[in-house]
Amino acid sequence: MAQATDDVLVSRDGGVLALTLARPQKKNALTGAMYEALIAAFHQAETDDEIGAIVLRGSGGVFTAGNDIGDFIAAAQAPQKMAAYRFVEALAQLNKPLVLAIEGAAIGIGTTLLLHCDLAFATPDAQFKMPFVDLGLVPEAGSSLLLPQRIGMVRATELLLLGKGFSAQRALELGLINAIVPVQALENHAGREATALAEKPRQAMLRARRMLHGDRTQLLSQIREEGAAFAAALKSGEAQKAFQKFMNKGGR
């Protein structure tokens, strides 16, 4: 079973592969090793015909605080080698359905994941935010393309450029999640919906999903353009200053 770090737990329940971000002491902030584990798990799901769906969730009452800032600081000298880039491309090319179970904070990639998943469920206390510009960075995971397509340019500008946070209720109104689910029911609810996807006729499910997601050529091109801009931004004085300010505040 694919697992390169104890900070990502991988388990199997019938046709569902469950991935749990398990770094609660750092609010499940994603490190390079965690991205590598997620990439390996995606590969496992894609190559195992018995797996029909993937569930991604957090632990400790948090989905994820986004990318680990310490990793960003360390990666500034060679940003193109960051596992985060390969994860985003793997995410964009994923063929098996992806279900998100979101409790608490979903920051950065924790929010942009919504644009790639098939079903997403959040607890009433879930909070979303894409603070890329605030950190001297640019949007990632194709969000500069997908978010305006999903919610319109006016709202996308508010969320990506102003970096405004928003609630689970707002995410539901914007069509970014499917439902708000009580905390105690979240894991079971997401698991049931993932199982329902996994139990559908497999080839019909995969073909229908491909049609829903459409041609990925433009998306992958946008992701690569974002990646190049992100790599340049990581080296900028603006980003380094923002990172140090964040770390001095006791950030992850």
pTM of the model: 0.94
194-239 pLDDT tens trace: 999 999 999 999 999 999 999 999 999 999 999 999 988 888 888 8
Residues whose CB falls within 8 Å of the CB of residue 63, separated by 6 or more in sequence, listed in order: 21, 28, 57, 100, 101, 102, 103, 104, 105, 106, 110, 126
**Confidence class for position 187, pLDDT limits 50, 70, 90:** very high
> How much is the pLDDT for 154?
97
> How much is the pLDDT for 76?
63
From 136, 160, 159, 158, select the one nearest 69 (Cα to Cα). 136
With a cut of 60, say whether residue 34 has pLDDT above it: yes
3-state SS, residue 57: strand
> How much is the pLDDT for 69?
82
Using CA atoms, how far apart are residues 107 and 156, in angstroms rounded to an integer? 16
> How much is the pLDDT for 74?
74
User: What CATH number labels 8-186+200-248?
Assistant: 3.90.226.10
Q: Which residue has the tokens 């985003």?
A: 88
138-181 pLDDT tens trace: 999 999 999 999 999 999 999 999 999 999 999 999 999 999 99
With a cut of 90, say whether residue 242 has pLDDT above it: no
77-116 pLDDT tens trace: 665 678 999 999 999 999 999 999 999 999 999 999 999 9
3-state SS, residue 141: coil
> How much is the pLDDT for 80?
60
63-78 pLDDT tens trace: 999 999 887 777 666 6
Mean pLDDT of 118-135: 97
> How much is the pLDDT for 79?
59
**Confidence class for position 134, pLDDT limits 50, 70, 90:** very high
Sequence ranges of the domains in the chain: 8-186+200-248
